Amino acid sequence: MTRSARLCELTAHELSELLASREVSAREVLASVCERVAEVEAEIHAYVRLTRELAERQALEVDERRARGEQLAPLAGVPLALKDIFCTEGIETTCGSRILQGFVPPYDADVVERCRRNGLIFVGKANMDEFAMGSSTENSAFGVTRNPWDLDRVPGGSSGGSAAAMAGSEAVVAMGTDTGGSIRQPASLCGVVGLKPTYGRVSRYGVVAFASSLDQVGPITKDVRDCALMMNVLAGHDPRDSTSIAVPPPDYTKALIPDAKGLRVGLVKEFMEYQGRRVDPEVDQAIASAVERLRELGAECGEVSLPYLNYSIPVYYIIAPAEASSNLARYDGVQYGYRTPEQGADIIEMYSRTRDEGFGAEVKRRIMLGTYALSAGYYDAYYLKASQVRTLIRRDFDRAFEQFDVLVGAVSPTVAFRLGEKADDPLAMYLSDVCTIPVNMGGLPGMSVPCGFSADGLPIGLQLVGRPLGEEALLRAAYAFEQSTDYHKRRAHAIQDSNGRRSAVARA
């Protein structure tokens, strides 16, 4: 394989060094990524649309600026996959939904602006569950995304396209959003790194809203150093977002210390057991081994129980749909996006037909649940009560952080499941996020880092949770663990064998 064909498999920090020394150009790196996309995208379907012309202009600009001797940002020239939930000026943004087809934003989201300023190259808009509602990327109006480790399995969701692009080397870094685990769960299932920052650490301006008190933007990358570099790009106060935290972010790369000495790490019982069941044995064993590895690296490890976490799923599926029913009320076929061609007798009928045709089944389900929970006579019984329990969940975390610096456990109770396996069972699908949802309830930073593989060669992730604005502790623990293993160095290479069977080859 030529040098160019292998560039797409490198990490962002490796490419950054090559680009800065002019050993390679941004156009060469982009060409390698585009070559990889041409090879595997038909099978993986990580993207809903590619932006090749824009990417080529951006890469050329980076090369020209570097040739003039300008000082560029560390990630200048690095190809990026953007989840299709971020408004991008001049580029169609659909949020995985038919109802937004044809919507071309006249402005960039804050995080997109930051990426442009730092010279990242936009490869395309990554596929996602419609309006970020799902755990498998099977709810997209534009087709399912497949896991590069096994093309018959899901990549997780809702940021499944971004995670699959990372695992399949169809980009070098990626961005997603996390409302109930939508960065961490697909990162775990695809064997890459994903970080959900503290609520408010990264601006939500220009991000299509699902549940406003839960949504948060974060990076999905090939390793922990790349994650820290992306956080240096994304984090910061934005006056356009009223929930943005006005605390200057640190240089996250300074947290990357290859030992865990002095860190107090707590294994959360409720991240390993849920509703009378325990996570799959292979996941259980991988997490236990990871905790033991952290102990060997100098961490003080113990166990802790957070009993109110058992109520996270019912609380989430009251609060999130309630907020979604409010946020999605704006899609009526009048101002932008899809409108039914059959106008009907009056505007009410036009609204009804547009929404019926434009929204998918899962989105309709959550809108109805949320509208019911907020309706007269039920608000106090459902939404208010859920908000009160949410406070108790946060207090459980507060008490745990009196003993520990970092909490750990499973990201997902299982490895990647088969396409269609849970499509007709919404409750089973919702339980895919049972380990991740509590972190969003508390507005805390959470992270997934590869910690093992199943007997079938499917990735398993370790979840790390920190105090508010405690991303540095997570990055330190994750980096120390990562550097003592080789899980992050393995790559999935999706292929079809001579018999036409869908498969994947992992190569260190």
Q: 364 catalytic, yes or no?
A: no
Q: Output b/e per residue, 210-238; b: 16+ Cβ within 10 A.
A: bbbbbbbbbbbbbbbbbbbbbbbbbbbeb
Which residue is it, tokens 């379907």?
A: 45
Domains of the chain: 3-251+262-310+390-507 (3.90.1300.10)
pLDDT tens-digit series, residues 174-196: 999 999 999 999 999 999 999 99
pLDDT tens-digit series, residues 46-66: 999 999 999 999 999 999 999
Which residue is it, tokens 């089973």?
A: 428
CA 289 to CA 16: how far, in whole Å? 33
Mean pLDDT over 237-250 rounds to 98
Q: 182 catalytic, yes or no?
A: yes
**DSSP conformation class of 208:** P
pTM listed for this prediction: 0.95
The fraction of the chain above a pLDDT of 90, given in percent, is: 91
Non-local CB neighbours of 265 within 8 Å, separated by 6+ positions = 291, 294, 295, 299, 300, 301, 302, 404, 405, 406, 407, 408, 477
Q: How does residue 496 score in pLDDT terms, banded at 50, 70 and 90?
A: very low
pLDDT tens-digit series, residues 196-212: 999 999 999 999 999 99
Residues written for the chain: 508
Please name which of 277, 206, 274, 196 lies closest in space to residue 238, comparing C-alpha atoms: 206
CA 339 to CA 336: how far, in whole Å? 8
Q: How does residue 455 score in pLDDT terms, banded at 50, 70 and 90?
A: very high
Looking from the CA of 176 toward its CB, the CA atoms found within 13 Å total: 39
∠ CA 173-179-183, rounded to 5°: 25
Q: 196 catalytic, yes or no?
A: no
- The encoded tokens of residue 70 equal 């300008």
Chain centre distance of CA 482: 19
Which residue is it, tokens 């649309």?
A: 49
HEC per residue, 401-469: CCCCCEEEEECCCCCCCECCCCCCCHHHHHHHHCCCHHHHHHCCCEEEEEEEECCCCCEEEEEEEECCC
CA 126 to CA 140: how far, in whole Å? 11
The pLDDT value given to residue 493: 63
Mean pLDDT over 477-503 rounds to 75
Gyration radius (Cα) of the chain, Å: 22
The pLDDT value given to residue 132: 98
Non-local CB neighbours of 308 within 8 Å, separated by 6+ positions = 389, 392, 393, 395, 396
The pLDDT value given to residue 404: 98
Which range, of 146-150, 222-226, 340-344, averages the lowest pLDDT?
340-344
pLDDT tens-digit series, residues 99-150: 999 999 999 999 999 999 999 999 999 999 999 999 999 999 999 999 999 9
Q: Which of 16, 32, 83, 140 is catalytic?
A: 83
pLDDT tens-digit series, residues 256-306: 999 999 999 999 999 999 888 999 999 999 999 999 999 999 999 999 999
Q: Which of 16, 182, 188, 244 is catalytic?
A: 182
Q: Which of 16, 135, 136, 158 is catalytic?
A: 158
Alpha helices in 328-447 (DSSP H): 347-358, 361-374, 385-400, 426-430, 437-442
Amino acid at position 208, single letter = V
The pLDDT value given to residue 508: 38
- The encoded tokens of residue 274 equal 């849920």
Question: Residue 163 above 60 pLDDT?
Answer: yes
